[in-house]
């Protein structure tokens, strides 16, 4: 079957909408003359289709396939359209869990590796911690062109989890350096005790995190992750303080008094926890997301974050801003924390996903001087740096942060229209194209996501009942209308 396009008027919104016709040849392709997709196309009766199911069966013999949605044909995928193993063409508003800045096979990107110098970095993966290539300093300087205000240092790593994990280590090192004063780092007492996992070499310190947070799946990160139990169960965790993240009521303008009180309560709790843990496991720092992503796209006001930063300054503890999902322009600013207009920058900002590589920016105060303290063999993948450099050029030259802001406003307007028309939807919210809306419960949310997929739209779920959008930075208003049109049909089918 194929998807035919039409126009449907919904209140004040006009959506491009897709309707199914069951007799279209499976070989039909939604391709324009220049070889780009201009709409979704479904050729199997269900997703995953027979080819994906066969691949799943083969993989399951030697691999846990419980998290696999379907297999993809990345060679055929283009822009905002993902092609699965069965040939279904999906309008992808999820983009590899918020990881593709410019969609699939962006023009000219494949040619990067026709350049021998770029190909050399693929063939010879450098151990960056010990043996970086001659152009590594240039790569670091490229990263620093987008460094958050006030942060003049950067370390590269492989992924979001290891970025946050090593950020914790850097914060602990900074905290202990100030506690130690003139005492030598490698005193006999420190050396002997750390090798036995005992103080003072292994100090009893903590990182404060927030309910609903997700910071990764390594052991330290899991201790600060509180979004899904499946990530954490059976895994030992550090006994570290957990503060409530504000639970705002929507529409925000109708609940200002209640939301202000909720944020004040949560901020007071943060201070109380810092005070209470001083004698148990002193808080060296806190970590927070500008928007809690995996926890259900939960927002707080800019004023809340400013006051939280002031609390960290007051108690002289570190402030880590986790921009793994929100970084690289999707929020309408290059860094989502830019909206806060802080008097003092975060001490550390972590990144990954759309940034192609992982790592963190940090202040001069955090900087350490000894080798091997933040270290692993690879320290990122140098073969990805040419893609990062070209991506940053496109983001800047095309002003894709402004585009995300404009398209996101249009998308959010459509979600708010849904909220008015469907009583099982609520709390439409977002910044840039980092948008979400809540269903009435988990089953309804899952039904929306599954039915949308069968109609050619790939979106995601998070939290208990949230539908989330994570499109690329080249997502257009026309594609937003198409997504809203498909969703409108889905909502009508699901509506009681």
**CA proximity to 162, closest of 322, 53, 282, 370:** 322
Residue 57 near residue 50, CB atoms below 8 Å = no
d(CA 26, CA 17): 20
- Active-site residue, selected from the candidate residues 84, 322, 381, 417: 322
Q: 366-372: which pairs have CB atoms within 8 A and are 24 or more residues apart? A: 366/153, 366/170, 366/171, 366/174, 366/318, 367/153, 368/170, 368/173, 368/174, 368/177, 370/185, 372/129
Q: Which of 78, 353, 354, 465 is catalytic?
A: 353
322 given a catalytic annotation: yes
Quick one: which H or E segment has residue 156? strand 153-157
User: Is 377 an annotated catalytic residue?
Assistant: yes
Structure tokens of 381? 């993948």
Question: 481 an active-site residue?
Answer: no
Among candidate residues 377, 399, 423, 442, the one labeled active-site is 377
Cβ atoms within 10 Å, residue 485:
25
180 φ/ψ angles, rounded to the nearest 5 degrees: -75, -35
Active-site residue identified among 37, 210, 214, 424: 214
- Cβ proximity of 319 and 347 under 8 Å: yes
Helices 385-397/116-123 angle, 10° precision: 130
Cα–Cα distance for residue pair 310/8, rounded to 1 Å:
49
Three-state DSSP at 489 gives helix
CB 411 within 8 A of CB 15: no
Residues labelled catalytic: 214, 322, 353, 377
């Amino acid at each position: 079957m194929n998807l035919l396009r039409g126009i449907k008027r919904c209140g004040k919104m006009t959506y491009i909408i897709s309707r199914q016709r069951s007799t279209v040849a499976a070989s039909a392709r939604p391709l324009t003359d220049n070889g780009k997709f201009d709409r979704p196309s479904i050729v199997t009766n269900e997703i995953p289709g027979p080819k994906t199911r066969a691949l799943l069966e083969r993989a399951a013999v030697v691999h846990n396939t419980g998290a696999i949605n379907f297999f993809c044909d990345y060679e055929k995928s283009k822009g905002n359209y993902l092609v699965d193993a069965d040939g279904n063409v999906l309008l992808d508003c999820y983009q590899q869990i918020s990881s593709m800045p410019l969609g699939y096979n962006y023009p000219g990107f494949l040619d990067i590796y026709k350049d021998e110098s770029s190909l050399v970095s693929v063939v010879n993966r450098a151990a960056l911690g010990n043996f970086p290539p001659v152009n590594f300093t240039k790569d670091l300087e490229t990263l620093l062109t987008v460094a958050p205000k006030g942060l003049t240092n950067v370390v590269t790593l492989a992924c979001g989890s290891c970025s946050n994990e090593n950020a914790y280590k850097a914060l602990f090192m900074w905290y202990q350096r100030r506690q130690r004063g003139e005492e030598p780092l490698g005193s006999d007492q420190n050396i002997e005790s750390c090798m036995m996992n005992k103080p003072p070499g292994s100090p009893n310190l903590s990182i404060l995190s927030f309910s609903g947070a997700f910071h990764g799946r390594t052991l330290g990160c899991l201790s600060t992750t509180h979004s899904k139990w499946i990530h954490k169960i059976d895994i030992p965790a550090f006994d570290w303080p957990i503060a409530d993240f504000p639970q705002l009521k929507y529409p925000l303008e109708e609940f200002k008094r209640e939301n202000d009180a909720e944020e004040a309560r949560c901020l007071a709790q943060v201070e109380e926890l810092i005070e209470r843990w001083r004698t148990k496991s002193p808080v060296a720092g806190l970590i927070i997301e500008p928007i809690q992503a995996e926890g259900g796209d939960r927002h707080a006001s800019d004023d809340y974050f400013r006051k939280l930063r002031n609390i960290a300054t007051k108690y002289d503890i570190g402030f880590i801003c986790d921009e793994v999902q929100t970084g690289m322009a999707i929020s309408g600013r290059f860094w989502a924390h830019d909206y806060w207009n802080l008097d003092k920058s975060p001490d550390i900002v972590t990144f990954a996903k759309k940034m192609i590589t992982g790592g963190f920016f940090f202040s001069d105060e955090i900087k350490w001087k000894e080798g091997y303290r933040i270290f692993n063999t690879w320290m990122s993948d140098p073969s990805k740096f040419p893609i990062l450099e070209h991506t940053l050029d496109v983001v800047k030259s095309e002003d894709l942060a402004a585009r995300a802001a404009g398209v996101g406003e249009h998308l959010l307007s459509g979600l708010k229209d849904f909220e008015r028309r469907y009583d099982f939807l609520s709390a439409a919210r977002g910044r840039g194209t980092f948008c979400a809306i809540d269903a009435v419960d988990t089953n309804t949310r899952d039904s929306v996501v599954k039915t949308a997929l069968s109609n050619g739209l790939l979106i995601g779920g998070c939290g208990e009942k949230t539908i989330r959008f994570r499109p690329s930075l080249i997502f257009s208003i026309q594609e937003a209308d198409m997504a809203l049109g498909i969703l409108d049909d889905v909502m009508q089918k699901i509506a009681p």
